[in-house]
Amino acid sequence: MGNLRLESLQLLSNFRSAPELVSFANAVFHRQACPVRNYAGDVKFQAFRDEVEETESLVEDLIALQEKVSGESIVVLGRSRSQVSEIVSLLKRRKVKVFAMEMQHLSESPEILDLLSLIYAFTDETDELSLWALLRSPWIGLELKTLWEIAQRRDPNQSLMKNLQRQIEAKTLNHPRVSGLLALYEGAQFRKKELSFVLWVQELFEALGGASLFVQEKSISSIEQFFRLLETFPPFEVPDRAVLEHALNLRFANEPASVNAIQIMTIHKAKGLEFDHVFLPRLHRIPRRDDPSLLLFKEQFTQEGWQMLLAPIKSPLGESSGLYRFLMKEEQRLAEAENYRVLYVATTRAKKTLNFSFVQKNKLPSGSFLEMLAPWAEVKIDPDEQNSAEEISEVCLESKKLFRLPSSIPIAPVFSVPAFSEESELNHPQWPNLQRVDRALGSVVHAVLAASHEVDDSCLKSLLRSEGVFVHELPEVLSQVKMILSHMREDPLMRSLSPERGEVQNELMLIEQEGYALNRHILDRTFVDSSGVRWILDYKIAHPNGGESLDAFFLRMRETYQAQLERYARVFRKIHPGLRVKMGLVFPLQKRVEWI
């Protein structure tokens, strides 16, 4: 470096690690020909027949050490999460306190998988796999036998959701939580039009009893992370599945920190940290190997200045060039140096003891930590053994794990929303603040008015069923729809609500920005008449309460919805200042309009 003469320095003592650990690190990373093996027990190597034996022995050692040195820090380090995942699982089964740092992607958390099943099932009726998973989840908790019976009775020409509804109505399936799920699904389709996506999912989560079901600190943390992630997506759109799952794979479900917990983390996460006792298992594992590069390159300084060396991969029929082989060896040399750097980080985290373990093989796995530490580990090697197939690579051990719900997880109680009682009929869930049939009536009436052609009874029935009307309710609701349409087409007052010319807009959506918030408004019916006045009509398919007079009913409706209509007018006047607006509440059943 210029005129400065570089000098190699050897670490002889420090304020963290015991002298024996410092001597060991110097011996390993200076690659001494005759390593010193007497480290007073502070550095320990253990060989095992297989990884099952290694895991069980390591867990026993960890438990014993935790009891012996209460208050001292213990950590298990792995080159990757897959190296220590089985150790974490066994520790948890043994009820040992564990703090696993970024060991599990958020997308692998059982509670997040349940939330994804809920979202997918409620936003895509064709996603039957997600609905099956939801039925099996702790929220509903159906046994496998019940799922099999549902599958045996299903009509292959209908979706699973419609099959569940049909079986509930026929009373071949008698399960209150399934009935509640169907009612929740129907109501959720309306609520989705009124709420941002994250609020909609939160409402579903609460209605299913999620807050009372997931009470562990880790579950609560994961769910909070999930809802914070949903807030980053557009508010009134269902996130793309691939984008959502990719975002979940970039986040981790961290364990809550606890006193005296055994810590589990990757070597990368341990940089800059220190621990009293360090365990480094799976020395025999080899790192993930990349496929040969199509093009290798290296920039180097020559007498002519900086030059770029480029070499393509060999053709299927030819041999690789000498330059490609040279650059490949350079890549291998750099990879070896990186392995030593990672191993150095792992070994220098320890303050008091350093514990290595591995599976004994007849051949040293190339590129493994065991190969680097072989002189100190006293590995027994058969020089004639060439069976490299036994090398354990990270690639074959990173398959996605299947998470099963343990039977000890409590099942959520029967929903508080919607509410059911012993006397209530399963087909008549009572929804607070939501008149299901009235909403269905309004939606179908608007759809028919917006259509450019006549709609027959079969089409009306299909529309009503799609809006959540049960089969036994169809005759009465269909007659109401036909009566309302008849009033609107034949009654002079109702006919006057359509312009002689100009375009009528039904279910018009307006997005209003206020600061950083987006407010969505949906107008039942609006148009501009020949004199330039903007008409805003809000249709109400409602009835007076028991004993309520018509005048009292209309007054109550006016007081309830006046502010809403005025908000609609305000949005239009933001677009067109000075716009003249006429607002009214339309009651087709009563053939009346309340002007605001």
* CATH code, domain with 571: 3.90.320.10
pLDDT at 133: 92
Residues 267 and 216 grouped into a single domain? no
Q: How far apart are CA 160 and CA 150, in angstroms?
A: 9
| Domains contained in the chain, number | 4
Residues 286 and 401 grouped into a single domain? yes
Q: How far apart are CA 166 and CA 246, in angstroms?
A: 36
Residue 196 lies inside a defined structural domain of this protein: yes
User: Is residue 132's pLDDT more than 90?
Assistant: yes
User: Is residue 556's pLDDT more than 50?
Assistant: yes
pLDDT at 4: 77
User: Is residue 443's pLDDT more than 50?
Assistant: yes
Q: Which range has highest mean pLDDT (485-499, 537-551, 564-578)?
A: 564-578
Choice between 380 and 324, residue whose per-residue pLDDT is larger: 324
pLDDT at 193: 78
pLDDT at 502: 62
pLDDT at 71: 82
CATH number of the CATH domain containing 177:
1.10.486.10
Percent of the chain with pLDDT over 90: 11
Average pLDDT, the chain: 77
Residues 370 and 262 grouped into a single domain? yes
Residue 422 lies inside a defined structural domain of this protein: no
User: Is residue 253's pLDDT more than 80?
Assistant: no
pLDDT at 257: 55
What's the whole-number mean pLDDT along residues 483-498?
79
The owner of tokens 């929740």 is 184
Q: How far apart are CA 42 and CA 354, in angstroms?
A: 6
- Strand pairing category for 295-302 and 305-312: antiparallel
Of the listed ranges 65-79, 314-328, 490-504, the least confidently predicted one is: 314-328
Copy the structure tokens of residue 204. 């579903």
Residues 509 and 467 grouped into a single domain? no
Q: How far apart are CA 497 and CA 525, in angstroms?
A: 9
What's the whole-number mean pLDDT along residues 404-430?
34
Q: How far apart are CA 283 and CA 544, in angstroms?
A: 77
Residue 295: band (very low, low, confident or very high) from pLDDT cuts 50, 70, 90: confident
From 193, 190, 189, 121, select the one nearest 159 (Cα to Cα).
121
Choice between 52 and 426, residue whose per-residue pLDDT is larger: 52
DSSP state of 389: G
Q: Which of 195, 224, 249 is the last residue of a domain?
A: 249
Residue 102: band (very low, low, confident or very high) from pLDDT cuts 50, 70, 90: low
What's the whole-number mean pLDDT along residues 258-273?
82
Residues 125 and 207 grouped into a single domain? yes
What's the whole-number mean pLDDT along residues 388-411?
40
Start-to-end Cα distance in the chain: 84
What's the whole-number mean pLDDT along residues 59-64?
92
pLDDT at 252: 65
pLDDT at 234: 87
- Strand pairing category for 505-514 and 517-528: antiparallel
DSSP state of 529: -
pLDDT at 258: 60
Residue 402: band (very low, low, confident or very high) from pLDDT cuts 50, 70, 90: very low
Copy the structure tokens of residue 387. 């069976």
What's the whole-number mean pLDDT along residues 253-279?
79
169 is in which domain, residue-wise? 106-249
Residue 80 lies inside a defined structural domain of this protein: yes
What's the whole-number mean pLDDT along residues 3-7?
76
User: Is residue 229's pLDDT more than 70?
Assistant: yes
Copy the structure tokens of residue 237. 């759109």
Question: Looking at this protein, which amino acid is placed at residue 200?
Answer: W
Contacts for 293 with CB less than 8 Å, ≥ 6 apart: 313
386: enclosing H helix or E strand: none
Residues 124 and 169 grouped into a single domain? yes
pLDDT at 40: 45
227 touches 112 (CB < 8 A): no
Residue 578 lies inside a defined structural domain of this protein: yes
Residues 188 and 52 grouped into a single domain? no
What's the whole-number mean pLDDT along residues 37-50?
73
Residue 394 lies inside a defined structural domain of this protein: yes
pLDDT at 393: 46
Contacts for 286 with CB less than 8 Å, ≥ 6 apart: 365, 366, 367, 368, 391, 392, 393, 394
pLDDT at 358: 92
Residue 36: band (very low, low, confident or very high) from pLDDT cuts 50, 70, 90: very low
Q: How far apart are CA 155 and CA 168, in angstroms?
A: 14
From 67, 47, 66, select the one nearest 57 (Cα to Cα).
47
User: Is residue 430's pLDDT more than 50?
Assistant: no
Q: pLDDT tens across 134-152, in order?
A: 998 888 888 888 899 999 9
Residue 329: band (very low, low, confident or very high) from pLDDT cuts 50, 70, 90: confident
Contacts for 132 with CB less than 8 Å, ≥ 6 apart: 147, 160
Residues 110 and 91 grouped into a single domain? no
268 touches 84 (CB < 8 A): no
- Give yes or no for a cis peptide into 281 (omega within 30° of 0): no
DSSP state of 107: G
Other Cβ atoms within 10 Å of 410 Cβ, number = 10
Copy the structure tokens of residue 531. 């004199």
Residues 476 and 526 grouped into a single domain? no
Choice between 250 and 277, residue whose per-residue pLDDT is larger: 277
Instruction: Please return the burial class of 262, using the count of CB atoms within 10 Å of its CB with bins 0-12, 13-18 and 19+.
Output: buried
Residue 155 lies inside a defined structural domain of this protein: yes
429 touches 402 (CB < 8 A): no
Q: Which of 249, 281, 316 is the last residue of a domain?
A: 249
Residue 434: band (very low, low, confident or very high) from pLDDT cuts 50, 70, 90: very low
Residues 221 and 363 grouped into a single domain? no
Residues 347 and 478 grouped into a single domain? no
CATH number of the CATH domain containing 368:
3.40.50.300
Residue 148 lies inside a defined structural domain of this protein: yes
pLDDT at 408: 40
Residues 123 and 202 grouped into a single domain? yes
User: Is residue 297's pLDDT more than 70?
Assistant: yes
Other Cβ atoms within 10 Å of 42 Cβ, number = 18
433 touches 202 (CB < 8 A): no
pLDDT at 87: 87
Q: Which of helix, strand or coil describes residue 584?
A: strand
Residue 301 lies inside a defined structural domain of this protein: no
Q: Which of 189, 214, 249 is the last residue of a domain?
A: 249
pTM (2 d.p.)? 0.46
pLDDT at 290: 65
pLDDT at 418: 34
List 45's β-bridge partners, or say none: 356
Choice between 355 and 426, residue whose per-residue pLDDT is larger: 355
Q: How far apart are CA 24 and CA 344, in angstroms?
A: 11
Backbone angles phi, psi at 400, to 5 degrees: -70, 130
The sheet that has 592-595: what strands, in order across it? 505-514, 517-528, 534-539, 581-587, 592-595
